[in-house]
Each structure stands twice: as C-alpha cells, then as structure tokens.
Structure 1
Amino acid sequence: MTLSANNFEHLFLGALALFVVLECVLTMLQTHAADRAARHLPEPFVGRLSEAAHRKAADYTGETAQAALLLTFLGAAFALLMTFGHGLTFLTALAMGLSSNMLVVQWTLLALLLGAAALLEFPFGWFARFRVAERYGYMRRERGPWLARTARETLAGWLVALPLVAVLMALLEATGEYWWVAGWVLWVLYLVWRWGFSTAKGLFWGRRAKPVDDPALVALARDYLAALGIEMTDLCIMTRPRSWDHSHLVLAGFGRRRRVVLFAHAAARLSRGELLALLAHDVGHIRHGHAFLRVVLFSLVGALLFWAAGQFGDSPEFYAGFGLADVPLDRPGTHAGFMIACAIVAFPVLFYPLRPVVNLFSRLMQYDADRFAAQVARPDDLVRALVRLHRDYATTLAPSRLYSLFHYRRPHAGMRIEAILTRAKAEGRPLDEARFPYGFSVLLAELDRPVLERSALARALADGREEREETESRRTVDEALDDRRYAVGLEVGNDPAGAEGNLKNDTAAALRTTKDEAVPDFLLRTPPKTPSVPAEKADGEGNEDDETPKTETTKEGDGARAKNNADTALSQPGAKDS
C-alpha cells in the first residue's frame, strides 16, 4: 500500500493532536494528585517533612507540570512551523543557496534546524527551569549567571554537534541505499559502548576512589556478596560524579567479579543493614540481566525508527506530507539528511505513544531489583535506605502514576516503598524479618551500626590530599560535618529540577538531620582533634557551581542558631536538592 501526501499529513496532525491533548490531561492529573497528596504525609516520610513544606511541594509540583506543558505547546508549535509553516522548506532553500554540494546542503540544513530549535527553546526553558524554582525559593543561583551558563552550554552543545553530524552524514552517504541499516548499527554500537563503559568506569576511578579502611565493613560486604554469587575485589569510597546522579553505589566490572564503589553521601547516611539492601538491589540488576535487556529494548526501538526512516527516505509523498517541498531527490545520494531533519521535527510526535512503553520497561526493572533485594535482606532496611537517600523534597511525594509513567524512567521513591510494603503485606512477612542468603550470617546489632564513623569517612576521602589543600579545608570540614541544622531534609544550594544535587554538598549535607530525626550516636561524639579534609574536596576537583550561602559561626552563637533552625525546620523548607 502506497501512502499519499495527504495520508502523511493527516497522520501527523492526528498524532500532534493526541500529543497535545494527552499532555494536557496528564498535567491536570499530576496537579490534582499533588493537591490530594498534600493533605497527609506518606507514613515513611513522617518526621522528615512538615505539613507546610509538603503543601508547598504540592503547589510547586503543579506549577512545574504546567511549565512543562508550556514546553509541550512550544514543541507542537515548532513542529507545525517547520512542517506546514514551510520552515523546513525555507531552511533547505537557504542551505542550497550556500552550496551546491548535496552533502554540505544536508549538513547545513541540520545545523540550522538544531540552532533554530535551541534559540526558540532558550527563553521558555528559562521560565520552566529557573523562574518557577526562583519564585518558590528553590533556586539559589542568580539570574545572570544562570542565563550565562545555560547559554554557554547550549552553544557548546550545538558546536559539538556540528562535526558529529558531519561525520554521521559522511558515513551514511558512503553506505548507499542501506544507510538506515548503517545508522541502526551505529546506534547499537553506541548502546553497547555505553553499557560497557558504565560497567567498567568504576574500575578506573583509582585516583578518586579510596579504599575503605574498615576490615569489619569490608568483610561484611564481601561475605554478603559472596553469598549472592558475587566476588568483591575491592570496596572503595568516593564523592559522587556529576554523571551518576541517580546512583548511590556501583558494582563495577564484568561477570561475577565486581569492585564496589560506595559514594560518600550514602556512606554518611546509611546503616550497614541498609547498605546490604542497596548492594542486594544492584545484584538484582546484575543477576536478572537488566543492563542487557535495556540494550535490547533500545536497539529494537532504534530499529523501528531507522526502518521507518529508510522506507520513506526516497518518497516524495513523505516529504510533501510534512511540508518539505522541492527536495532534490533526483540528485545522486542517500538524502539521509533530509530524512533526519524530518525525523527531528516529526518523530517525537509520531512515536509519542512509545514513550510510556519504554518507561514502563525501565520502571519494571527497578521494581524487580527491589523485589530481589527484599527477598535477600530486611525489607525495612531497604525502605529506610530509600527514605534516607531521597532528596527531592521540593516536589510531591505522591505524583500521578500516569504522569510519572509518561515522563520518568525511574519510579518515584514513594512508589517503590509502597510496592515493597504491599508485597511484604501480601506475603505476611514482618518488615524486620531477615532472610539472608544461605551461607551468610551476621549479628543483627551489627546491621544497625553506621556504615562508617565520621572520622573514618573523612580519613578515607582525605587520603592522598596535599598538605596545602588539607590546611585550607580544615575549618570547612569541621563546620560541615558538625552542623546538623538542616530543615526538612532539603540541601541548600541544589536545584529542584532533578532528584540529586550538588556534589560539593553531598557528603556534608548527608550528615545533617532534622528536628524529628534521631541523631546517630557517632554524630554526637566530640570531633577528633586530628584535622579532617572535607568530603566535597576529597576528589581533587572543586565545584564551581556551588551556590550554598556561607555561614560564619561562633562558639557563642552556634548553639542558639542551631536551636532556632531546628525549631523552624518543620515550617520553612530549604532549597531543594534527577
């Protein structure tokens, strides 16, 4: 069956209408879900967030959803402008006026299209990602620096894309009529490389990762992983890299031999039982082959997209249906650039229904890993770990399930906790019941100890630092590690757009607490006289993005301020913390 230009036009308009209507409905569901959830706190989070802060989070969630809807309208308008507004035709004519070489014409078309999209999105992105957060007090950056940095990043991304697009165009041109097969192969190779790189990256963090100097903890982790079929080669600690914003620890390596890299914020917050639960979660991903399944899924999605591009890449009706007139199909070449331009504009709309399917697959893998962890560890340890490591208190703790399915690949911490509790209740299993794997035994009292004492954590992160850097940061680490004046679990200096925050504040912030949260014994001990190095400086790389306001403290005023902040913790949230 041959599709006419009218068929393509009607298909695209129908998909565009579905896209806009569904996003409007999802936004209403998200706003109403946040409003309903604001009436009461989820039980696992009681004591970590005040009712007023929870109400504020609900309001903020509604406004961010509406700001995201504004970007949806912008995307739909841009798609209409580029297709039926003859924007692609205009850009093609402009590119052909600059060169007669078809490869250069296609490269210029893509460069102009990407540049136009970036310029159009910039002011609306500022409102959605900065202005709303600023109104609620969750944005600590000044407007000027934020705009300057975003502009630099946008320009840098566009400049980096230009040579990559040129190389891609040359490769596709060299493969002839099967360019779409070559494009899919490149996509699969990228997925495999990304999988292998992320798995092995922790093996090469030698300069930044420091061995844990606690034989009991190392033995506990090694024995537990051995009972789960994993051979631990090393246990290290480091501050979390920016690119691993969803991770708390990494089992790096291939096969059964793994290096455990524990990030400092998790080491500072968790007990040893909670650490075992997180280890079990990651082992669940490994044993169930989730990384490989993810590669297969995205390979199949890529195959569908490239197949569609290859089928219609030489069809005049296809281009006419999307408003791209006068495509020089009579000239020799693959014309892949014209197809890619149409794909950039139209495919996000045409394949919008695939988004919840892909997200559902990724979310099911998280639930599956949680189920495995609850079977081989104590469920309440896993629940407490999720609560303690959750940092996105600026948004609602109970988002709409449909909205979350369409917009997030990872389920919210509250959804994961609910699934764990529901399964334990269905099985009639007490939450504190330990079902450790065969061959592993441990005193339950040992599981309630903190992962690392404060001094041991500081020593591990300070190992290898130069004396000058240690001297400069002594005062900072003493203030950061001893200060327990956080409000409602929110870290100052972090943006609300993601679930994770500034790396520079990770370790120090992890040791802060709220008024209603029990303070671990090791935090109440007298700080050691031996100077420590701050966790945020331990990796040898400063964070220029830290906007945390510096607070000068004195011995006389520190206690009064701490008491005052603790009293107001349940009514005034701090800045949000993927």
Structure 2
Amino acid sequence: METNSWLLFILVILVGNYLLELFLSYLNIKALLNEVPKEFQDVFDREEYRKSQEYTRATSQFGLIESTVSTLFVLGFLLVGGFNSVDLFVRSFQLGSIVSGVVYIALLLLLSSLLSLPFSFYSTFVIEEQFGFNKTTIKTYCADILKALFLSVLLGVPVLYLILWFFETAGDLAWVYCWIGLTLISIVLQFLAPVLIMPLFNKFIPLEDGTLKEKVLAFAKSAAFNIQGIYTMDGSKRSTKLNAFFTGFGKFRKIVFYDTLLEKLDEDEVVAVLAHEMGHYKHRHIFKMMVISVCHTGLLFFLLSLFIGNEKLFAAFQMEHVSIYGALIIFSFIFSPLNLLLGILVNVLSRKHEYQADRYAADSPSRGAALVSGLKKLSVANLSNLTPHPAMVFFHYSHPPVLARIWKLRGKTENGDV
C-alpha cells in the first residue's frame, strides 16, 4: 500500500465516521413521536414530553456541531502537517525519546482538550441550564478541570512513560508486558478509585438511619449480598439527573445513591433500583465486562506492535521521524473502525446484561412493579428519549431503551402497544 493510499484510508475513516454520526442523529430525531407513549401517559404530561423531545434535538444538534468542528480541525491538522510540527517542536528540546514521547502526546491531548472546552462549557451552562439540569457553578466547573488535569498528570504520565519504555526496551514481547502492566494498574485503580479519586469530586455521606436504610439492608441480607456501607453522593452539586451505582469489590462493596435519586423515588423504587444493580453482580456482569476490557487492551497492544516502525504510515502524517510515540497517535486512527465494531458487540452484550439485571430485580418479591415505576420516574427526571431509532441503539446504546425494558418486565414484545 502506497503512502497516499494510507492517507486516503485515514481520510475515509475520519469522514466516514462523521457521516455515520450525522446519519444516526438524523434518524434519531426523525424517530421522535408527537404523542406521549401510552406507557408513560401516567407520568409524562404533554409539556414535559415536548421538553424531553426538545432536549434530544438540542443535544443531538449540538453534538453534530461539535463533531463537525472537531472533524474539520483534525482533517486540517493532518493535511497541513500539524503532527509533524508538534513533533519537531518537542524534539528541539532534546529530552530523550521517552520523555519527548510523553510531552508530545501530552501536548496533543492538551490541544484536544482546549478544542473541546468551549463545547463543554456551552453544554453545561447553556443547554443543561436551559433544560433545568445544571447545578454546577463556575467555581466547581473550573475545580473539576484542575482536578482532572492533576489526575491525568499523576496517573497518566507514569502509565504512558511505562508503555513507551516497554516498547523501546522489551523487543517483540513489549506488547505483552504493556498488556500485563496496564491490566494490573487498572485492577489497582478499581480499589483505589472509591477511596482516593471519587472523593476528590464528590462528598459521600453514610445513609441516615431510617426505614430506607432498613429496607436496603434487609434486601441485601435476603440476597446474601455483603456490603461495606450505604452512601449518598451529592450529585445535585452538578446536576438534577438521577443515578445510583455500586463501587468496590468483595467485602469493600459500597452502594451509592445520588441525593437527587432519593428525592424523586420512593423507598420501594429505590430498593428496586438497588436490586437491578445487585443483579449485575449476581450474574457476574462486572467480572465479564472486565475480562472483555482486558482482552480488548491486549488486542490493541498486539495490533499496535504490528504498526510500529511503518514508515509509509508516518509519511501519510507528513512526519519526518519514525517514533514509538508517533505510532501510538497514528494507530489511534487506524484502530478506529475495529474499535467501532468491538464497541457494537460490547453494547449488544451490555444491553443483554441490563435485561438480565432487570429480570433479577423483578423476580425479587414485589420488586417488578416498583422497578417499572422507578424506571419511569428516572426517564421523566432525566428527560430521556423514549423512542430512539433502532440504528442509534444498535451503534451507541449500552442500555436498552426504557420502553423496551418495561415491555420485557411486563412480558410484552417490542411489537406491543406503546
């Protein structure tokens, strides 16, 4: 394959991905219904439903604007030799290959972050504000950025240095060592995140004594599910959206409820949501997805090892010097189509897992009806799109649409009455 063929291939990837997202957004907006689905007529009035549709349109259209700008920027940056210019700039400091690689990738990531910053700001303080979600202050927003930057330097720089060092010193087995190293780091972070990282962004307060705590503990005991604690998180600090999750492993497992969730759902609905999350553990979904993630990482490093040193690829990016760190950036473009395919397969599995977790919750005594009503309230509070296009679901949804989940819980098919 000639150099210009590699460049053409990369351009096709960039433009093709953009056109795919454009088409999916068009289909998704066209799939919006004017009438409230019958299943939701008891909780969604016409005005709130119209608001949810407007929210879908606004976020979809804004996402397309951001995608257009970023795609045009990357195309222009590629065609004018921007990757090479940054490389030459970093090389002028003569920092050594590994440190130069860290600085090079850090600069590109910083440039990408600066490009996305105005969109993030507008999304938070205009769109989310317009639809009543945003509770983030400018102070909190800036603090989050600084904390994320601190964590990127603290965790990302050593990991990147390790990857570059392995590929420079370990020969043909470098990808294996990178795979093992990154897997071990990821496992360690799973334990450290709830203790050291997440508290940097939110406050976690033990759930107050009361009937809700008693019901949660009783249900966990009936399911032989050991938990270390039950906490509320100040999600309202940033948004009015609702959520709940488990964190930690083994005896260190914790249940975390957004404070917004406790405000909008009644106690039985909260326990039903907990039962759903518990279903993921009972079916070993978290472990299975971790295994898939580990395999994905191994495949990524193996394929990366095949492209390192490919001079024609570097020429397609107009880069004068072949380097390991340059190969990391170039490979991120080459891997994109396969990553899209793998993402689709993972989403298919994830949606299956959600149905299984729903069934686990519904099979618990008197939880089915509470889970349905809880899902409805979550959808209303989050202004969820009740009728996403099947193509959008296929490509991007890790959870089934809420109507499909409710139909499953009620024993209906997707051909049932909406």
TM-score range, shorter chain: 0.7 to 0.9
Supply the AA of the counterpart residue of 2:399.
R
Sort the Cα spacing of 1:5 and 1:73 in 2 relative to 1 into closer, same or farther, 3 A.
same
Secondary structure of the residue aligned to 2:205 is coil
Stretches of structure 2 lacking an aligned partner (at least 5 in a row): 414-418
Task: Kindly indicate whether residue 320 of structure 2 is the aligned counterpart of residue 326 of structure 1.
Answer: yes
Counterpart contact for 1:285–1:369, Cα < 8 Å: yes
Contact 2:276 2:361 in 1 (8 A): yes
What CA distance in whole angstroms lies between the structure 2 residues aligned with 1:318 and 1:206?
47
The structure with the greater share of residues assigned to helix is 2
What one-letter code is carried by the residue in structure 2 that aligns with 1:372? Y
2:154 & 2:227 partners in 1: Cα distance? 41
Contact 1:114 1:158 in 2 (8 A): no
The structure-2 alpha-carbon separation of the partners of 1:227 and 1:198, relative to structure 1 and needing over 3 Å to count, comes to farther
Instruction: Establish whether residue 304 from structure 1 lines up as the match of residue 299 from structure 2.
Output: yes
In structure 2, the partner of 1:373 is 361
Q: 1:149 to 1:337 in 2, by over 3 A?
A: farther
Note closer, same or farther for the CA distance 1:46–1:160 as it changes in structure 2 (3 Å cut): same
Within 5 Å, which residues of 2 pair with 1:27-106? Answer: 27-34=25-32, 37=33, 39-99=34-94, 101-106=96-101
- In the TM superposition, what whole-angstrom CA distance separates every residue of 1:393-442 from its partner, at most 9, and x where no partner exists? 44533222332443443344344223322xx247xxxxxxxxxxxxxxxx
Q: Among the aligned pairs, what percent are the same residue?
A: 21
Please report how far the alpha carbon of residue 78 of structure 1 lies from its aligned counterpart in structure 2 after TM superposition: 3.0
Instruction: State the one-letter code of the partner of 1:280.
Output: A
SS of 1:418's partner is helix
1:416 is matched with which residue?
405
Change in Cα spacing, 1:92 to 1:280, as seen in structure 2 (3 Å) is same
Aligned counterparts of 2:266 and 2:59: Cα–Cα separation in 1? 34
Q: How far has the Cα of 1:174 moved from its partner?
A: 3.6
| Distance (whole Å) between structure 1 residues aligned to residue 276 and residue 377 of structure 2 | 16
**For 1:161 and 1:259, how far apart are their aligned partners in 2?**
25
Q: SS where residue 351 of structure 1 aligns?
A: helix
In structure 1, what is the Cα distance between the partners aligned to 2:153 and 2:221? 48
Residue equivalent to 2:205: 208
The whole-number CA distance in structure 2 between the counterparts of 1:419 and 1:243 is 33
Amino acid at match of 2:293: F
Pairs within 5 Å for 1:161-560 = 161-162=152-153, 164-175=155-166, 176=169, 177=171, 178-196=173-191, 208-210=205-207, 212-214=209-211, 218=214, 224-228=219-223, 230-232=224-226, 236=230, 238-240=232-234, 247-248=243-244, 250=246, 254=250, 265-267=260-262, 269-271=264-266, 273-321=268-316, 323-327=317-321, 329=322, 335-344=323-332, 347-348=335-336, 351-378=339-366, 379-421=368-410, 424-425=411-412
Give the 3-state SS of the residue equivalent to 2:31 in structure 1: helix
Q: 1:344 to 1:152 in 2, by over 3 A?
A: farther
Partner residue in 1 for 2:416: none
Please give the alpha-carbon distance, in whole angstroms, between the structure 1 residues aligned to 2:150 and 2:204. Answer: 31
Q: How many residues align?
A: 402
| TM-fit CA distance, 1:209 | 0.9
User: What's the secondary structure of 1:29's corresponding residue?
Assistant: helix
Q: State the distance in 1 between where 2:96 and 2:42 align.
A: 66
Aligned equivalents of 2:140, 2:338: Cα separation in 1: 33
Offset, 1:198: 6.7
Asked if residue 121 in structure 1 is aligned to residue 116 in structure 2, the reply is yes
User: Shift of residue 117 of structure 1?
Assistant: 1.3
Name the TM-score, length of structure 1 as normaliser.
0.60
Larger CA deviation: 150-159 vs 403-412: 150-159
* 1:111 paired to 2:106: yes
Instruction: Pick closer, same or farther for the CA change 1:140–1:9 going to 2, 3 Å.
Output: closer
Q: How has the CA–CA distance of structure 1 residues 190 and 101 changed in structure 2, closer, same or farther, with 3 Å as cutoff?
A: closer
CA RMSD, aligned part only? Answer: 3.7
1:391 CA drift (Å) = 4.9
Residue 252 of structure 1 contacts residue 261 of structure 1 at CA under 8 Å; is this kept in 2? no
Q: Residue 208 of structure 1 aligns to a residue in which SS?
A: strand
Q: Where in structure 1 are there 5+ consecutive unaligned residues?
A: 330-334, 427-578
1:151 Cα deviation from its structure 2 partner: 5.6
Q: Which has the larger radius of gyration?
A: 1
Q: CA deviation at 1:249?
A: 5.7
**Amino acid aligned to 1:396:** N
CA distance in structure 2 between the aligned counterparts of 1:362 and 1:243, rounded to whole angstroms: 27
Tell me how far 1:156 sits from its aligned partner: 5.3
How far apart are the structure 1 equivalents of 2:356 and 2:315? 46
Q: Say which SS state the counterpart of residue 238 (structure 1) adopts.
A: strand
Superposition deviation, residue 313 in structure 1: 1.2
Partner in structure 2 of residue 12 of structure 1: 10
Change (3 A) 1:231 1:123: closer
- CA deviation after TM superposition for structure 1 residue 306, in Å: 1.5
Q: CA 1:279–1:130 in structure 2 vs 1: closer, same or farther (change >3 Å)?
A: closer
Cα separation, 1, equivalents of 2:103 and 2:254:
46
1:121/1:258 CA distance change after superposition, 3 Å: closer
- Secondary structure of the corresponding residue to residue 364 of structure 1: helix
Specify whether residues 180 and 4 from structure 1 end up closer, same or farther in structure 2 by C-alpha distance, changes over 3 A only: farther
Separation in structure 1 between the aligned mates of residue 176 and residue 238 of structure 2, nearest angstrom: 30
User: Quick one: structure 1 residues 73 and 304, their matched pair in 2 at CA, closer, same or farther if it must change by over 3 Å?
Assistant: farther
Deviation string, structure 1 residues 357-390 (Cα, Å, up to 9, x no partner) = 2323222211210122223344222101222344
Q: Structure 1 residues 240, 43: CA separation in 2 closer, same or farther (over 3 Å shift)?
A: farther
Q: Is the 8 A contact 1:238 1:261 kept in 2?
A: yes
The TM-score, its normalising length taken from structure 2, stands at: 0.80
Q: How far apart are residue 32 of structure 1 and its match?
A: 0.9
CA distance in 1, matches of 2:193, 2:95: 43
